[in-house]
Amino acid sequence: MLFVLNINFFFFMFFFIFFILGLYSHLFNMSMLIYYNFLVLNSCNFSFVFMLDWLSFMFLSVVFLISGCVFLYSLGYMTGDYNILRFYLMVFLFVCSMFFLIVMPDLMCLILGWDGLGLVSYCLVIYYQSDTSLSSGYLTLFINRLGDLFLIFSICWCLNYGSWHYLYLFSFNDLNFFMMIFLIMACLTKSAQFPFSSWLPAAMSAPTPVSSLVHSSTLVTAGVYLIIRFHNFLSPFFFNILMNLSLLTIMLSGFGALYENDLKKVIAFSTMGQLSFMIFSVLMGSYYLSFIHLLIHAVFKSLLFLCSGVFISGFNGSQDIRYMGGLGYQSPLISSCFLISLFSLCGVPFYSGFFSKDFIIELVILGELNFFYLMTFFFSLFLTLIYSLRLFYFLFVASLSLPMYSLLDNYYMKISCFVLLMVSLPFGSMMFWLMDLCYVNVFDEYFKFMTIFFFSYFLIFLNSFNSMTLNSCGFTIYFLGMMWFLPFFSSTYIVSKFFTFSYTLFMVVDSTWTEFLICSTLMELSKSLNLYLNLFTLNSMKLYLISFILFLLIVLMV
């Protein structure tokens, strides 16, 4: 426990240091490149390159803040676990992988953090070692490895440019078509965009502290972060493709959260929608504003996950929101934290999510979009409000179904939630004030308070959410609520077929005549050769041979 508290102290210290360095580097437009040559072979220099600018500093500060809160939270949530040391080690490796991904401008070195995130996330998803977590881990690992494959292809294609540093690539006006295809596919798989969205809700089989870290500021944001870094190279063709895919993902996540009853999966669907929202804002030209929204979203979304973990622990592992209710009476502090983060997700005025989300909405309205894109975008935002209202109803307005247990009184969990609450409340306005980001407000206060108006209007129809289950709906609603059957196709036609083909190769190659002819024959030959050499070394033949060689040398010298 003392070791974990020391790690928390260093993580919080790094949060303050990197946040101050990020403000300083942004205000004075400064950046640093650090080269470390660890091997020089003939004319080849093998080096690590660290790029430290305001994007890297601010992102690292948020990652260390959430990691420190997750470590402190896990002291209470993982109480009694026999493999707690392994859990902390894997979470620490996850943070280290994210550090390498953020600060390295070299695609060859970036693959260390990129691949490390996928591997450690698989180990964390299967942490509870059940059939459900194993199938979810296979799906997570397969889709993330597919993204790693595309990133490796992009590294190979960089040989045409003579460098793996994407800072060097900025000198090109446009990248190759295949290079951009590889990078975009890697980003889509890592950030769970359509059609690679099925792994994100499945990854909720991991412990809740892991979900808070993975699905707020680390794994799923890696693709968005890479798109922000490479936004200069996006051609109009890729703009159109990414815009359509991001809108499809927002719609998919909205309908999925609207008909989902698992608390963690509802929050996972909201994460998927917010990632698509960030990508859409990058395509509208506001990539800095998208990055600010990424940081703000990471703080209040991690708070949302940690509060849901407290509720799940209190209900003895039950995650069904239909059996929860009256949480405001049983846990006022955690319920307040949950509601504040939920209001930030909806974009309620003067909460942290409002400051970035509202500016992005204004830029979308003022941008050159056709009517179909604009209506689809606003309908997706409307779905965000509806499923947030549904979650609010089941957790706080509906009557109590199950009593909560005493695990709710763990003060480590409450302290971590309170720390994130104190950062989340002023974080949105603080980012705009301290970083001197000037955006012009175009719309008046009636449009600003439209979220509150819709929120109050739909309180009248709260009773209709009781019947919003998949069993009582038609095929269309079932199709929308089941993520457009993406999990079925991913599990049945991709993952299972892959493992079936692997098993067939194993049976044909390793378990038939191939093994007998190659492996067994080589083993017999090596065994016979070893016996012959042993006979040679254990008798006096070596003495005679050495004597004969010495005799020949003497004769030749004379």
Of 299 and 444, which is predicted with more confidence? Answer: 299
Cα-to-chain-centroid distance, residue 370: 31
Model confidence at 463, pLDDT cuts 50, 70, 90, reads: very low
Q: What is the pLDDT of residues 286-300, one digit of tens each?
A: 788 888 888 888 888
Residue 18 clears pLDDT 80, i.e. is over it: yes
- Under a CB-based contact definition with an 8 Å cutoff, are residues 118 and 145 in contact? yes
HEC string for 23-49: HHHHHCCCCEEEEEEEEEECCEEEEEE
Lowest pLDDT segment from 166-175, 211-220, 458-467: 458-467
The whole-number pLDDT of residue 477 equals: 61
The whole-number pLDDT of residue 535 equals: 62
Model confidence at 205, pLDDT cuts 50, 70, 90, reads: confident
Lowest pLDDT segment from 15-29, 78-92, 457-471: 457-471
Average confidence (pLDDT) over 85-100: 86
CA angle in degrees (0–180, nearest 5) for 167-170-172: 140
Model confidence at 460, pLDDT cuts 50, 70, 90, reads: low
- Under a CB-based contact definition with an 8 Å cutoff, are residues 332 and 408 in contact? no
Name the pTM for this structure: 0.82
Average confidence (pLDDT) over 20-26: 87
Residue 344 clears pLDDT 80, i.e. is over it: yes
Residue 407 clears pLDDT 60, i.e. is over it: no
Residue 533 clears pLDDT 60, i.e. is over it: yes
Residue 78 clears pLDDT 70, i.e. is over it: yes
Measured CA to CA in angstroms, residue 56 lies from 50, 163, 232, 373, 545 at distances of 10, 21, 18, 32, 68
Lowest pLDDT segment from 463-467, 510-514, 526-530: 463-467
Residue 68 clears pLDDT 80, i.e. is over it: yes
Q: What share of the chain is helix, strand, coil (3-state, %, to 5)?
A: 75, 5, 20
Q: Which two tokens stand for residue 226?
A: 């890479």
Most confident option among 191-205, 268-282, 320-334, 393-407: 268-282
Average confidence (pLDDT) over 218-241: 81
Average confidence (pLDDT) over 4-25: 83
The whole-number pLDDT of residue 481 equals: 61
- Under a CB-based contact definition with an 8 Å cutoff, are residues 170 and 207 in contact? no
Of 324 and 164, which is predicted with more confidence? Answer: 324
Average confidence (pLDDT) over 416-427: 87
Q: How far apart are CA 527 and CA 542, in angstroms?
A: 21
The whole-number pLDDT of residue 248 equals: 87
- Under a CB-based contact definition with an 8 Å cutoff, are residues 284 and 367 in contact? yes
The whole-number pLDDT of residue 466 equals: 47
The whole-number pLDDT of residue 162 equals: 67
Q: Which two tokens stand for residue 519?
A: 């492996």
Average confidence (pLDDT) over 12-24: 87
Residue 470 clears pLDDT 80, i.e. is over it: no
The whole-number pLDDT of residue 518 equals: 64
- Under a CB-based contact definition with an 8 Å cutoff, are residues 422 and 345 in contact? no
Q: How far apart are CA 147 and CA 145, in angstroms?
A: 5
Q: Which contiguous run of DSSP H or E holds residue 162?
A: none
Percent of the chain residues topping a pLDDT of 70: 77
Model confidence at 472, pLDDT cuts 50, 70, 90, reads: very low
Q: How far apart are CA 125 and CA 205, in angstroms?
A: 6
Of 517 and 260, which is predicted with more confidence? Answer: 260
Q: Which two tokens stand for residue 386?
A: 């509806």
Lowest pLDDT segment from 264-268, 348-352, 420-424: 348-352
The whole-number pLDDT of residue 322 equals: 81
Residue 458 clears pLDDT 60, i.e. is over it: no
Cα-to-chain-centroid distance, residue 427: 21
Radius of gyration, CA atoms only, the chain: 28
Residue 259 clears pLDDT 50, i.e. is over it: yes
The whole-number pLDDT of residue 201 equals: 83
CA angle in degrees (0–180, nearest 5) for 424-309-7: 65
If you average pLDDT over every residue of the chain, what do you get?
78
Average confidence (pLDDT) over 309-322: 82
The whole-number pLDDT of residue 512 equals: 63
Most confident option among 61-70, 76-85, 451-460, 514-523: 61-70
Average confidence (pLDDT) over 105-125: 83
Residue 271 clears pLDDT 50, i.e. is over it: yes
